[in-house]
Amino acid sequence: MTQFGLLSTYPPTRCGLATFTQSLATALVRPGDPAASIVRVLDEPEARPGAALGASAVVAAELVGGVPSDRVMAGQILNASDVVIVQHEYGIYGGPDGDEVLDLLETIDAPCIVVLHTVLPNPTPSQRRVLDAVGALASAVVVMTENACGILESTYGIPMAKVSVIPHGAPVRAPAQKHELRARRRVLTWGLISPGKGIEWGVRAMAELTDLDLEYVVAGQTHPKVLATAGESYRENLGALIEDLGLEARISLDGRYLDDDELTELVDSADVVLLPYDSRDQVTSGVLAEAVAAGLPVVATGFPHAVELLAGGAGLIAAHEDPHSMAEALRSVLTRSDVAAQMHEAALRDTEKTSWPDVAQRYRVLAAELIAAQAA
């Protein structure tokens, strides 16, 4: 039995990193195993250390940026584990580009797996320094795409012998057949809403598809950090754009944070997922991974994870900031059952081994290798 320690944001925090870590922890811990110890990363004190999170995990400590005593406590908790898994994003740790995480990593003696959620091809000098140092302190580094692995090799100083590619996990669900043509079609975008998601381009694409009987559902709360600094201005601007284009009857902005059952029901009701992201550098998208695993056709802009995951035929790439390109891709999926059927089959083939249980097993194997290497 392996005792895992995990460092990350974690529910009830609402962000992709927190959801990823909860899913991974739940899948890692098998019946009879000790619960994973979570060190929950926060912007300000909030958690109740010692709070149980079901059979799979317990919040054992919290880490707030700029609080040295938290780093000491976090190091003690994590060192009591057999293997530590650290989720890395620049924006969640304190200090310039999150460099406070380096002080913590230096105190960890247990084998440490660092999972990189952002790998920038053109980092600032500070970002490069931080990521190189993170890689040097880690026992192993995990990225989720071959593209991210290539960027590490060409841009950073992390030894490639340390690097493994383990895909983003997806929930286990029975994919519904989505390729039959129905009268009313549904285009879906979901996830936390913020500028950069490109939803305004999706809205404009709908204006070019008024000859089709369809609806566009945008589901998700405004990202908490955006809400704290800019309020609901982005969502309000989207609402104004929808009104200006006369699309109120065809587009809905659902601002709820959906639980697992609600999200499953919504995904099952969709015909195609639209990811009109502005980013040219995004190497990991949990929404993309889940959409493809559900067997849904995807239309996405050409961010790296989409280009890689959709290369097998599970979706179409549209041009960034180009509503016409998005509209034409959506039209192909929504009006041709053969195209949708081929994408459905390709999606299930390409994600056959990306369920959370399968992904967690790959982390277990990597953890066992690190434990054996340390003991040798």
Tokens 């699309």 belong to residue: 247
CATH number of 185-350: 3.40.50.2000
Buried b / exposed e over 32-44, threshold 16 CB at 10 Å, is eeebbbbbbbbbe
Per the prediction, the chain carries an average pLDDT of: 92
Q: In the chain, what's the furthest Cα-to-Cα distance? A: 68
Nearest alpha-carbon partner for 84 in 118, 58, 113, 109: 113
Please give the model's pTM, rounded to 2 decimal places. Answer: 0.90
Tens of pLDDT, residue by residue over 319-329, are 999 999 999 99
User: Under CATH, what is the fold of the domain 4-169+355-375?
Assistant: Rossmann fold (3.40.50)
Average pLDDT value for residue range 25-52: 82
Predicted confidence (pLDDT) at residue 141 exceeds the cutoff of 70: yes
Per the rule left: phi > 0, alpha: psi between -120 and 50, beta: everything else, 375 is: alpha
Measured between alpha carbons, how far is 279 from 266 in angstroms, rounded to an integer? 25
- Residue ranges, CATH 3.40.50.2000, the chain: 4-169+355-375, 185-350
- Residue 16 neighbours by CB distance under 10 Å: 18
* Mode of pairing for the β-strands spanning 4-8 and 83-88: parallel
- Output the pLDDT for position 225: 86
Predicted confidence (pLDDT) at residue 97 exceeds the cutoff of 80: yes
Query: In sequence order, what DSSP letters do the residues of 149-174 get, joined into one string?
Result: HHHHHHH----GGGEEE-PPPB----
Q: Select, from the ranges 40-49, 113-122, 170-179, the one with the highest average predicted confidence (pLDDT).
A: 113-122
One-letter amino acid for residue 211 of the chain: D
- Cis status of the peptide bond prior to 121, with omega within 30 of 0: no
Per the rule left: phi > 0, alpha: psi between -120 and 50, beta: everything else, 231 is: left
Predicted confidence (pLDDT) at residue 52 exceeds the cutoff of 60: no
Average pLDDT value for residue range 34-53: 77
